[in-house]
Amino acid sequence: MTKIDDVARLAGVSTATVSRALRGLPTVSQATRARVLAAAAQLGYTASPSASRLAGGKTGAVAVVVPRITRWFFATVVEAAEEALHHGGYDLLLHNLGGSESERQRLLHTAALHKRVDALMLVATPLQGADFNAVTSLALPGVTVSSGTGVPGWPSIRIDDVAAARTATTHLIECGHRRIAHISGDPTDELAFTTHIDRRRGYREALDAAGIAPDPVLDVEGEFTVAGGERAVAELLRRGARPTAIFAACDEIAMGAMAALRQAGLRVPADISVIGIDDHDLAGVVGLTTVAQPAADQGRLAANILLSPLTGGDYPGEETVILPTHLIVRESTAPPRAN
C-alpha cells in the first residue's frame, strides 16, 4: 500500500509539503505542487484528510474559545474565522464556555485541548494566574481577540474600546446633550470581562473633556444583551433622573434600551437619543447610531495569523494589532428637545 512517505521520497520533498500540496494550500509553489501530483499519480496514491494530517503530526483543527456563541460579536468573529480556516485547509473546533467559569477552568486546566488541535484562538476570554502557564504549556501557536489580557508570546487583535466609547459619547455631546446616561456590562460576570471597564472609561473621559461632571445616577450596570438594555432603562426611569441621551456599551444593549423607552411612551430620539458600539447586523434596520467595529475582520485576521505557521509561514509572536472604529450616524440620535 502506497504511503505519503513514498510520494514524498519520489517527489523529493517532505511529507508536510506533500500534505500541503495535495490540499491545494497557497504556500506551495506551482512547480512543487506539479511534482507532488505527478508522484502521487504515478504511485496511485490518494490521500484522505486524516491521513495527510497525521503524517505531519497534525490534527488539522484550530480551537476557538468564546464566552457565549449566541452574542452577535462572538458569532461574527467565529463565522469569519471558520471561513478563513476552511480556505486554509483547517477545521474550526468551537469551545463555547456558555458564560461559565468552571467550563473555562475545565478547558484550560485539563487535557481537553492536548494533542487535539494545532492552534488556539481565545476570543474575549481573559486569563488569570495559573491560566497563563496552562495555555503556554500547550506549546501551540495562539492568538487573542478582543481580550483584556494578552498571552506572553502571542499576538493580540482588538479595537481601542476606550477610544470607541469616547467617540460615541463625544457625538452625543456635540449634538448638545449634557445629561448622558451610560449602560455598561455586568461587573459580576463570571468570566471577568474588561470591555465594559474600558468603555466606561472612554465615556467618562469624554464627559471630563467637555467639562461635564459624571452623575452616578446616570451610570447603570447591565448585561451585553437586548434584555440587559431593557432592564437598565427600567432602572434608569425608576431612579427618576431622566437623561436626554444614552450611551450603551454595545448595540444589543442599545436596541433593548430603545425598545424599553418606546414601551415607556418615550420617543427616540425626540425625547432620548441612543447610541451603541458594534454596528450589529440589525443596527441599520432599527436606525441605531453606533460606533462600528470590524468584528469579522478580527476573526479573519486572527485565523490568518494562525494559518501562517501552520502552513510553513512565519508566526509574528507577541504584538498588538488595533483595528480602527468609525462613527455611523443614523436616526437614533439628535439634539435634545428645547424645554
As given in the structure block, the three cell numbers for residue 38 are 505527478
Q: Are 122 and 144 in contact (CB under 8 A)?
A: yes
pLDDT over 90 percentage in the chain: 60
pLDDT tens-digit profile of 244-257? Answer: 999 999 999 999 99
Report pTM.
0.82
Q: Are 315 and 308 in contact (CB under 8 A)?
A: yes
Q: What is the pLDDT of residue 100?
A: 75
Task: Name the one residue in this structure whose C-alpha cell is 442599545.
Answer: 254
| Interatomic CA distance for residues 324 and 293, integer angstroms | 7
Which of 119, 155, 133, 124 lies closest to 309 in space, CA to CA?
A: 119
Round the average pLDDT of the chain to a whole number and report it: 89
Which of 282, 322, 6 lies closest to 159 in space, CA to CA?
A: 322
- pLDDT for 275 beyond 60: yes
pLDDT tens-digit profile of 142-164? Answer: 999 998 778 889 999 999 999 99
pLDDT tens-digit profile of 184-233? Answer: 987 666 455 688 899 999 999 999 999 999 999 999 998 899 999 999 99
- Domains 61-159+295-323 and 161-292 fall in the same CATH topology: yes
Confidence category of residue 26, pLDDT binned at 50, 70, 90: low
Q: Which CATH architecture has domain 161-292?
A: 3-Layer(aba) Sandwich (3.40)
What is residue 19's three-state secondary structure? helix
If one looks up domain 4-55 in CATH, what number appears?
1.10.260.40
Q: Are 186 and 222 in contact (CB under 8 A)?
A: yes
Compute the radius of gyration of the chain from its Cα atoms: 24
Helix axes 195-209 and 161-174, enclosed angle (nearest 10): 40
What is the Cβ-side half-sphere exposure of residue 238, based on CA atoms within 13 angstroms? Answer: 8
Q: Which residue has the higher pLDDT, 205 or 125?
A: 205
Q: What is the pLDDT of residue 46?
A: 67
Task: Name the one residue in this structure whose C-alpha cell is 484528510.
Answer: 49
Which of 207, 199, 196 lies closest to 162 in space, CA to CA?
A: 199
Could you tell me which CATH class the domain 61-159+295-323 is placed in?
Answer: alpha beta
- pLDDT for 278 beyond 50: yes
Q: What is the pLDDT of residue 23?
A: 67
- Domain regions of the chain by residue span: 4-55, 61-159+295-323, 161-292
